[in-house]
Structure 1
Amino acid sequence: MIKNFFCVLCFLIGVVAYAQTKPKEFRLKKIQVKKDTVQIDSVSINPTNFKLLSKEGSLINPSNYKVNFGLSQLIIDKEKYSEITVEYYRYPEFITKEYSPFDKRLIVENTKNTGKLYSETTNKKTSDVRFFDGLTTQGFITRGVTGGNNQNAVTNSSLDLTISGKLSDKVGIRANIFDTNIPLQQNGYSQKITDFDRIFVELYSKNWRVKGGDVSLENNDSYFLNFNKQVSGVEVGANLSESTNVLASGAIVRGRFSSFNFVGVEGNQGPYKIFGSNNESGIIIVSGSDKVFVNGVLLQRGENKDYTIDYNLAEIRFNTAYPITNDMRIRIEFQYSDRNYTRFITYEKAQYKKDNFSIAGYFYNENDAKSQPIQQALTDAQKQILANAGNDITKMMAPSFFADEFSVNRIQYKKTIISGNEVFEYTTNENDEVFSVIFSNVGAGKGDYVVDKTIAIGTIYKYLGKNQGGYNPVVQLVAPSKLQVAVVNSKYSPSDKTTIQAELAFSDNDVNLFSNIDDSKNKRIATKIGWNQRLLDKDWKITSDVNYKFIENNFQTVQRFQAVEFNRNWNLDSPTGDQHEIGTVLTAQKNKKTTISYGFHHLKFSNNFSGSKHTLQSKVKFDSTSVWVNGSWLKNSTNTRKDNFFRGQSKVEHSFEKSWLGGFVNFETNEKKETSTNNFDITSHQFKEYEGYYGIGDSTKVFAKFGVNYRTNDSIKSNAFTQINNRKTFYINSKIIQNTTTNLSLYANYRFTENRLADNETTLNSRILYNQRFFKNLLTLGTAYETSSGNIARQDFIYVKTEPGQGYYTWIDYNNDGEQQFNEFEIAQFQDQATYLRIALPNIRFLATQRVKWKQSITLNPKQWGSKKGFKKTLSHFYNQTYVTIDNERLRAGSGFNWNPFNTSGDGVLGLNFNFRNSFYFNRNLQNYSWTYTFGKSQNKQQFSVGNQEGNSFIHQLEFQHKLTKFWLFETKASVGENKLKTENLANRNYEISVKELQPKFTFIYNKDHRFSVSYHYKNKENNMLNFEKLQQQKIGLSYFFISSKKNQISADTAMFLNDFTGNSNSPVGYQMLEGLQIGRNYTWNLQLNQKLTSVLNLSVSYLGRKSTNSSAIHTGTVQLKAIF
């Protein structure tokens, strides 16, 4: 009785919910792109979880579009993307309205005969408050709460506000404030959103400024204290006079500075894993803090530049047009999230500059609060371990287990005795005394445990025997540290020909605040003195530079201050002792066309190194010919070696009227000989490189450049330089056509490496970009083809429980064993079931691949013939769009290339993303006998630690729309398709489901404010493998939508599902086919109200519910208040 009454009630109020409910603010729109600027919505949209899909369903790279989230506007190439799908979360609608504290009907002219005046003490009405009056604001504030009978109450909030403008005639403000819940992603999540925010408020005037929030501290005016740090705190700066300025700041450090060095792998574009200071793999890089150097040269980040970086996974990938070879020395400098202690930083500076004299002082202090650990709760015993360790990190190890309460969401162990040793053993018995244990990799043959297996919530370890494994139940303790650096520098110019500079630095670096051991090494000094003199100032300008540096052993500063490849340039291995360096450079210049520079430098470390280096640099231009020469000779000695290091580079280029021709020579010979035997050290090396090239056109517009490069590499064998490989490179870089209808560019880099001690290698990086419009946009083509080599990861991941509605996955214990397994997690179909997040673990296992990518779009649009007659008029009713995208990665083997993107079968395919979609329209978007036929096909393959996973699907779909009368709209959709999933090791998740669907729908359009719909949806699913499950589903739905002239909205939907299912519904295949519903009758309903309260405030109330025959009703409600500025 209650069930029938509830159904009738839902029918009368017109409430419905779709079977797969999304959060109330979620929107999915298909948009025809008719111009480059697209209005997505009438209100601001949330940048979190914003997705843009092509017509074929593939994710569009953010580099191909721009979004103004505040104005809800999308800027995208209409020729490249004629139809898109947008997934986003919206904010409530607000209409701009003028408000006044007075009733204007009662305000009259100010004349003596006025019979009725407005008084502030009478007829006064409550008015809306106008926030931030006089400032430019953009953004929103949201606060809400969600609750239900299947979940606890969960609060949700978000803030995204930008403010700028003048607070007064002299004081201005700039602010960017952002705060939101952790963003959800299907394949992972951002573990700490604070590592990616940029939140600040800044007040400023002509002579001072105060900035609070996320601040970028930097100093480029000091040699020893040159740094850039991303911190969260306050910075105050002031100009005390025209010659004096000061700055002070205090903050909490967002991350610690680190660098990671590695050598490129021939032909491997990445991704390469980035590790932290202590070889940590699971790090998060602070956004924008990275600098990447290759052979000492700084690269540029970006899709169309040199590299891209995944801050969340700490992985770097080099773009196709920047080929990686095994000669490349790659250095990455970055900040990464370090939450071991609360770390405070202060930085102050004072600068005075007047006429020919300047002096400045700087003080930097970075200090861990040792009494405020964050990620580690130190016991007294652990503190004592740190106290006894001094500066030796290998002694900072401690047992990692502790007694805990039993939980199915954590991996836990019990103690047991094996061969007389008390060890840990994995347990799922809630009656055991359980322990939470952290295992650390201590090196092969140095531990007692090995990895047993990885399950959905983590990795399980098992005892193997004393020193038989590589893991132990210990944890690396992190000691609190302190770094203080004080610097004074000065510059004096007694004349316009002479400049003298000096800098003195002091550092106090204590790497273990718990220990007094080794504290004598903490405090050190460094100094630098320079003298620049202009010796001649006529046709030839001659200048000299003399510099002296002294750096005491163990002197430490914030970030690197030496050249990127300082150690390599001086043949330094592990120098110790105080550093002394003296250098002089003599430079001659004439008419800005000729520059010659000679330098001599001497470097000495007091304990084990002495070296002298001569350098020569020149640039000469004769009319259309330019010559560059760089060379150096280093002679150095250590306690065990004597070295000679020769380097030379020479380049000649001649420019013709519309072309240029050039040649390049580069060589190195580094002879390192052992003092005791006079034999070559095995690290000695030698290479010679020659290159010739020819270019035509304008390199900034239309051009083509062809080049050939030959390089030989020698190493020591039998105490002599012997060639180990040679490499031939042929390349072309061009932009062949660039006009209003055609764009064509080509890049190719082919390398053949002949190895004497290994297999030969061939590598090809290529890219073709082609866009063409024919016959006044009747036919539009877009082509992108790309080949390269790289890696693909066997992705590890785990599932972590979170608040209901804050996750993406749900756990279903199919075998009722109480243990969470990989094949028991499903994408949640309902918000209250979304209780788990999937976390991608750091990738450490990669497979070498050859990659080929192809994108093709073809659009046929005869709309321009709409004004014609006859056959052309008929054709103008049609429209066709084809889109193909393929990303194919095959196992790299032998010398062959992966040319063919359509070769998508076989065991050699390791990664694949294939999408094909063709849509054929008649009377597109007219609702007048409008037909659309769509054929789509997709195929994907992914590598996971639990095995690879392949998915295949296709669909034939026919859609029809026709407005029967002014008030009635008829729509129908029929489709036939198939979905396949094949997993390597999870057999119960495999399926081949054929699907047939029919969806007629009638909509009654009463007026522009009221709309009522009745729909029927028939779905037939059959699994053609294993248990051959079958489903016949019928859905009857009713919906009502109302929007008032004031943009207040009410939407209501209700639906009844009749599921006739044959098979095991408590299985992954059953869940997939039933889409989270139950066998028999199911009811869903949804009611949503958006009420505009004031000009800036909007109230949103939503209620979701569902019920099946054998379960009680589940209710979920949300109340949310939003303000948009």
Structure 2
Amino acid sequence: MQEFDKVFIRLSKDKQSLTVGDFDMIRPSDYFLNYYKRTQGALYEGGFQTARGDQIITTAGLASSRGIYTRQNLAVTEGNQGPYKLTGNNGELFIIVLAGTERIWIDGKLLTRGAENDYVIDYNAGEITFTPKQLINKDKRVQIEFEYSDKSYFRSVVTSNTSWTNPNEKTTYRLHVYSEQDSKNQPLDLTLDSAARAAMVAAGDDPAQAFIPGIDTAGFSTDRILYRLTDSLGYDSVFVYSTDPELAMYALSFTELGTNKGNYILSSTLANGRVYKWIAPVAGVPQGTAEPVILLRTPISRRMITIAADHKTGDHGTIGAEAAFTQNDLNTFSDAGNDDNTGLGTHVYYNHKTNLSDGKILEAGLDYEYITRDFQFIERYRPVEFNRDWNLQTTDKQPEHYAAAGISLSDSSGNRFQAGTSLYARETAYTGFRQSVNWTQYFHRWKLLAGSSLVNASDDSTSTTFLRPDLTFSRSFAKMNGLEAGFRYWAEHNRFSSADSLRSGAFYFDEYQAFIRTPDTSASQFYTEAIVRHDGLPEAGVFKRVNEGFTWNMGGNLPSGRNRLNWLLTWRTLDVLDTTLSQQQDESALLGRLQYGYTTRKGWLTSDIFYELGTGQEPKREYTFVEVEPGQGNYTWFDYNNDGLQQLDEFEVAIYADQATYIQVFLPTSEYIQANVSQFNYVLNLQPRAVWSDVQGIRDVIARFSLVSSMQLSRKVLDDGSFLSYAPVGTVADTQLVSSNAYWQSTLYFNRTNTRFGAEYTFLQTEGKVVLINGPETRDLTRQNITIRWKITDPLVLSTGISSGLKSLESIAFSGRSYRTPFVSLEPKITYINGAQYRISLSYLYKSTQNESGAESLDSHTGLLDLRYNVPGNSTVSSRISYTLADFNGVADSPVGFALLEGLQDGQNILWNLQFDKRLSQVLQMTLSYDGRKTGSADIVHTGRVQMRAIF
């Protein structure tokens, strides 16, 4: 939904426009300046033409930024498709990714979002999962850039981009300005007292040192996690979780610092919030991961100004230059370290294109770039794998030089030859030379793709050689509709040597691929390929083979008429040949997806099947409940044990709006369980009337029936070495089942579209198991329902519903919440309908249920009157009143009692409602509502609400 969270107004006239509201700031056509920002503010765009014909195009923006840019290398594991947790610049686990800002590369290739493409992402949880189209293994290099929400300070962004083109002189001048800064005197989610400001002043340009104690002396409160101060094992000032009103007086804020960097660890309790416990150091080394400190985010300021010019030399050449000035302050509170805030960058280039007499095209180019030691980009401007291309192992700041020259010769048949040479130097820290060549050649039905890259580099103590050959040859067969078969070999040989001896960091791999595939223009697609990979690492100064991997891929689609078939399948094995050099273990992984759709000739039967399998992981969930304004939440709190303290098993889904005073907030964790994943979806629609529209006898009876059925199954199962762990159905031991979600609903209709008489039978089954830090929780529901309707006269409709089923909850951590309750219900109803103007219905509901796991039982009788008056296109008035007589046996103030009573009380219960809906305009609606209730012996509760809704 975040992608649609854009509200703006745009005014335009001729070539001028002004946008106010939500918009994206996108990079100009610069070499150094690169950015993509989600913002709120104002953006001006305009174009002018001078008297002599010069073209001037300018944009200017002033806005507040909605997020912070970050870039990270994602550490992936063999055969694990995810989800993988994204983190913030300071290691924050709880981040919200701004929708659409992410860019993800695997091995330098940009991926496409979507369940049918390469990956899916949960923006709110900050988790990414790769689809079966992208097999994840130890060899994949995954890089991610994205923006995430940050509310520490008000952050403003100012941009100005102007280009001036002189058509006669064939010259374009560009001036671009980008400025982004936090307002240090306008903190949003931070409270900056004198101690916090002093800590940031002292931290200088090292934000990791901006800590303040996370200890606050507070009075005792039942809705906070509090600690007492004590001594333990000879250590003083140890904080221990406490609910003692006399001793619990400290509220602590913890920061996760990493393994062996703190003296506290997360403890598993039933308290409504995270509780940390102290763990004693061993030999002076901390054994925990957290400390009661707060890491402050220092306010930053970033600017870049670029000046550039491009000039066309004749009809085929272009020469250009660009200069960039940068200013980057990591902490505007402190002057310490400001001597490295500014930097300069320059770039010059020349490109030339020549059309030769034989129809070939010759292209040549030169590039040179220089940046000073303290040059800082806004967002990455070099290729995503630039450092790897140059075999760069160090990223400490140095002045940098980059120079490149290249030549290309191509023809209209697609043949091309490219060669290039380049230099990259980081003052005295690194000097590298790179040569590359690429050749594409077609010989009748043969195709050759050949390329190679060689980097020779050195620093003070090490010399490196990085060779990457890549060779593919294939042949297409005209008699087989262009089917292509081929072979590919590519490799990387990376040598780090010192004194003629291989050093750690050196590696090599060789990959061999054989493939068969149909051409892209074919209506039906098919491909299959097999890949073998050998990996080597240095031992005793020489390379030794340590791993061997095998991957088999197959896929395609057959969009033939009424049948639609898409499939892909991947099988991957990894064999470890030397366990002393490799940290891997023997692994195997299976990925696949099948989509099949079928429609009969007249459409009387349609079905769709989706099946996906793979290997991933399930995060252990942890949550807390946070109090909000009445009516703004989803949960309510009942102090079942009367201790005045909030426990996780005391929160229930609110039945009434005035009780909805808490929201459930999931807390990020770093604990995952690896498991095999399967998902199965099925939809069936049966309509015999489509072929028997005008028949008599038994066929007419059959044609009156119709069936709609849908099924959604997904689960994660611990790998037991068998294919059954990938199956979405079947019996699995509770110890093997990590998580599951199942939904199955089938409805059989009789006379579905007949207005006089009809009936339907519905079967519904849902199952769900989630993994929580405190243990798994499983919820199941099975229900059968029969509904019969009969139109007695034109205004009167009689209907009867009969239901039976079973509802259950099993919680390992909260055993008091577990129940298993079969139920039956009967609901006759009579409805009076006067066209579209008003409707009156009177119904009676009998319900009986009993907890098989305990002694609780409920028999209830409910009478309900519904009134609705409608003025089409204008307003609606509706009213409802119900009376329920509940006979409940058991403890009402308990989780099981709440589940059975559903907000009512033993005895008499009266609920009433009055609501008025009014359309004020085409885009504005107003709702006035009043609710009242008298449940059991409780006082009468009155609730009124006013709601305005804008529809865009």
TM-score by length of 1: 0.80
Equivalent residue in structure 2 for 1:931, among 748, 759, 779: 759
CA distances 1:997-1048 after superposition (whole Å, capped 9, x unpaired): 11111223356534322211111101111x2211111111122222246754
Q: Please state whether the residue corresponding to 1:240 is helix, strand or coil.
A: strand
- Tell me the CA shift for residue 535 of structure 1: 6.0
Partner of 1:1009: 837
> Is the Cα–Cα contact under 8 Å of residues 35 and 378 in structure 2 kept in the other structure?
yes
Q: In the superposition, relative to structure 1, how do residues 649 and 1097 fare at CA in structure 2: closer, same or farther (>3 Å)?
A: closer
Equivalent residue in structure 1 for 2:389, among 561, 569, 573: 569
Partner of 1:868: 695
Q: In the superposition, relative to structure 1, how do residues 722 and 699 fare at CA in structure 2: closer, same or farther (>3 Å)?
A: farther
Equivalent residue in structure 1 for 2:144, among 329, 332, 355: 332
- Corresponding position: 1:898 with 2:725: yes
Partner of 1:911: 739
Q: Please state whether the residue corresponding to 2:180 is helix, strand or coil.
A: strand
- Corresponding position: 1:198 with 2:11: no
- Tell me the CA shift for residue 598 of structure 1: 0.8
- Tell me the CA shift for residue 575 of structure 1: 4.0
Equivalent residue in structure 2 for 1:276, among 88, 103, 120: 88
> Is the Cα–Cα contact under 8 Å of residues 263 and 327 in structure 1 kept in the other structure?
no
Q: In the superposition, relative to structure 1, how do residues 219 and 1044 fare at CA in structure 2: closer, same or farther (>3 Å)?
A: closer
Which aligned pairs between 1:1061-1100 and structure 2 lie closer than 5 A?
A: 1061-1091=888-918, 1100=927
- Corresponding position: 1:316 with 2:166: no
Partner of 2:264: 449
Listed as ranges, the gaps of 5+ residues in structure 1 are: 1-47, 49-192
Equivalent residue in structure 2 for 1:601, among 415, 419, 422: 422
Which aligned pairs between 1:178-193 and structure 2 lie closer than 5 A?
A: none
Partner of 1:4: none
Q: In the superposition, relative to structure 1, how do residues 492 and 200 fare at CA in structure 2: closer, same or farther (>3 Å)?
A: same
Q: How far apart, in 1, do the equivalents of 2:153 and 2:925 lie?
A: 41
Partner of 1:955: 783
Corresponding letter in the other structure for 1:884: M
CA distances 1:807-828 after superposition (whole Å, capped 9, x unpaired): 1111111001111111111111
Partner of 1:804: 630
- Tell me the CA shift for residue 216 of structure 1: 1.5
CA distances 1:645-699 after superposition (whole Å, capped 9, x unpaired): 1002222233333132233434333333342x43212211111112222224765
Q: How far apart, in 1, do the equivalents of 2:746 and 2:8 lie?
A: 47
- Tell me the CA shift for residue 211 of structure 1: 1.7
Q: In the superposition, relative to structure 1, how do residues 1003 and 222 fare at CA in structure 2: closer, same or farther (>3 Å)?
A: same
Q: In the superposition, relative to structure 1, how do residues 696 and 253 fare at CA in structure 2: closer, same or farther (>3 Å)?
A: closer
CA distances 1:830-858 after superposition (whole Å, capped 9, x unpaired): 11111110011224211111111122223
Q: In the superposition, relative to structure 1, how do residues 791 and 1098 fare at CA in structure 2: closer, same or farther (>3 Å)?
A: closer
Partner of 1:178: none
Q: How far apart, in 2, do the equivalents of 1:582 and 1:442 lie?
A: 42
> Is the Cα–Cα contact under 8 Å of residues 866 and 877 in structure 1 kept in the other structure?
no
- Corresponding position: 1:683 with 2:505: yes
- Corresponding position: 1:841 with 2:656: no
Equivalent residue in structure 1 for 2:715, among 888, 900, 904: 888
> Is the Cα–Cα contact under 8 Å of residues 707 and 747 in structure 2 kept in the other structure?
yes
Q: How far apart, in 2, do the equivalents of 1:213 and 1:534 lie?
A: 44
Q: How far apart, in 1, do the equivalents of 2:501 and 2:83 lie?
A: 39
> Is the Cα–Cα contact under 8 Å of residues 967 and 1005 in structure 1 kept in the other structure?
yes
Partner of 1:250: 62
Partner of 1:816: 642
CA distances 1:258-312 after superposition (whole Å, capped 9, x unpaired): 0111243222111111111111111111111110011111111112211111111
Partner of 2:323: 504
Of residues 814-823 and 532-541 in structure 1, the stretch that sits farther from structure 2 once superposed is: 532-541
Count of aligned pairs between the two proteins: 930
- Tell me the CA shift for residue 595 of structure 1: 1.3
Which aligned pairs between 1:352-501 and structure 2 lie closer than 5 A?
A: 352-355=164-167, 356-418=170-232, 419=234, 421-430=236-245, 434-455=249-270, 457-465=272-280, 467-501=286-320
> Is the Cα–Cα contact under 8 Å of residues 643 and 670 in structure 1 kept in the other structure?
no
- Corresponding position: 1:712 with 2:539: no
Q: How far apart, in 2, do the equivalents of 1:956 and 1:348 lie?
A: 64
Corresponding letter in the other structure for 1:550: Y
TM-score by length of 2: 0.94
Higher relative contact order (CA 8 A, sep 6+): 1
> Is the Cα–Cα contact under 8 Å of residues 641 and 672 in structure 1 kept in the other structure?
no
Partner of 2:556: 734
Q: How far apart, in 2, do the equivalents of 1:1095 and 1:917 lie?
A: 37
- Tell me the CA shift for residue 750 of structure 1: 1.4
- Corresponding position: 1:553 with 2:373: yes
Q: Please state whether the residue corresponding to 2:655 is helix, strand or coil.
A: coil
Corresponding letter in the other structure for 2:86: I
Q: Please state whether the residue corresponding to 2:896 is helix, strand or coil.
A: helix
Which aligned pairs between 1:145-164 and structure 2 lie closer than 5 A?
A: none
- Tell me the CA shift for residue 455 of structure 1: 4.2
Partner of 2:677: 851
Q: In the superposition, relative to structure 1, how do residues 592 and 1095 fare at CA in structure 2: closer, same or farther (>3 Å)?
A: closer
- Identity %, equivalent residues: 28
- Tell me the CA shift for residue 485 of structure 1: 1.1
Listed as ranges, the gaps of 5+ residues in structure 2 are: none
> Is the Cα–Cα contact under 8 Å of residues 469 and 492 in structure 2 kept in the other structure?
no
> Is the Cα–Cα contact under 8 Å of residues 575 and 609 in structure 1 kept in the other structure?
no
Q: Please state whether the residue corresponding to 1:568 is helix, strand or coil.
A: helix
Q: In the superposition, relative to structure 1, how do residues 454 and 528 fare at CA in structure 2: closer, same or farther (>3 Å)?
A: farther
CA distances 1:842-888 after superposition (whole Å, capped 9, x unpaired): 24211111111122223322113131122211211111233222112
Q: In the superposition, relative to structure 1, how do residues 1063 and 207 fare at CA in structure 2: closer, same or farther (>3 Å)?
A: same
CA distances 1:591-613 after superposition (whole Å, capped 9, x unpaired): 35221111111111113111111
- Tell me the CA shift for residue 556 of structure 1: 0.1
Equivalent residue in structure 1 for 2:436, among 580, 594, 615: 615
Partner of 2:400: 579
Equivalent residue in structure 2 for 1:964, among 792, 799, 803: 792
Q: In the superposition, relative to structure 1, how do residues 312 and 874 fare at CA in structure 2: closer, same or farther (>3 Å)?
A: same
Equivalent residue in structure 2 for 1:1018, among 846, 857, 872: 846
Q: In the superposition, relative to structure 1, how do residues 439 and 1008 fare at CA in structure 2: closer, same or farther (>3 Å)?
A: closer
Corresponding letter in the other structure for 1:559: E
Partner of 2:483: 660
Equivalent residue in structure 1 for 2:361, among 534, 538, 541: 541
| Superposed CA RMSD | 2.3
Corresponding letter in the other structure for 2:881: T
Partner of 1:743: 564
> Is the Cα–Cα contact under 8 Å of residues 404 and 422 in structure 2 kept in the other structure?
yes
> Is the Cα–Cα contact under 8 Å of residues 263 and 328 in structure 1 kept in the other structure?
no
Q: How far apart, in 1, do the equivalents of 2:900 and 2:121 lie?
A: 38
Equivalent residue in structure 1 for 2:34, among 226, 241, 245: 226
Partner of 1:295: 107
Corresponding letter in the other structure for 1:472: E
Corresponding letter in the other structure for 1:1003: T
Q: Please state whether the residue corresponding to 2:501 is helix, strand or coil.
A: coil
> Is the Cα–Cα contact under 8 Å of residues 121 and 129 in structure 2 kept in the other structure?
yes
Q: In the superposition, relative to structure 1, how do residues 377 and 953 fare at CA in structure 2: closer, same or farther (>3 Å)?
A: closer
> Is the Cα–Cα contact under 8 Å of residues 787 and 898 in structure 1 kept in the other structure?
no
> Is the Cα–Cα contact under 8 Å of residues 266 and 324 in structure 1 kept in the other structure?
yes
> Is the Cα–Cα contact under 8 Å of residues 950 and 983 in structure 1 kept in the other structure?
yes
- Corresponding position: 1:703 with 2:525: yes
Q: In the superposition, relative to structure 1, how do residues 444 and 748 fare at CA in structure 2: closer, same or farther (>3 Å)?
A: closer
CA distances 1:725-749 after superposition (whole Å, capped 9, x unpaired): 222222221112431x221122111
- Corresponding position: 1:975 with 2:803: yes
Q: Please state whether the residue corresponding to 1:383 is helix, strand or coil.
A: helix
Of residues 651-660 and 761-770 in structure 1, the stretch that sits farther from structure 2 once superposed is: 651-660
- Corresponding position: 1:673 with 2:496: yes
- Corresponding position: 1:1055 with 2:882: yes
Q: Please state whether the residue corresponding to 1:874 is helix, strand or coil.
A: helix
> Is the Cα–Cα contact under 8 Å of residues 718 and 725 in structure 2 kept in the other structure?
no
Q: In the superposition, relative to structure 1, how do residues 899 and 659 fare at CA in structure 2: closer, same or farther (>3 Å)?
A: farther
- Corresponding position: 1:304 with 2:116: yes
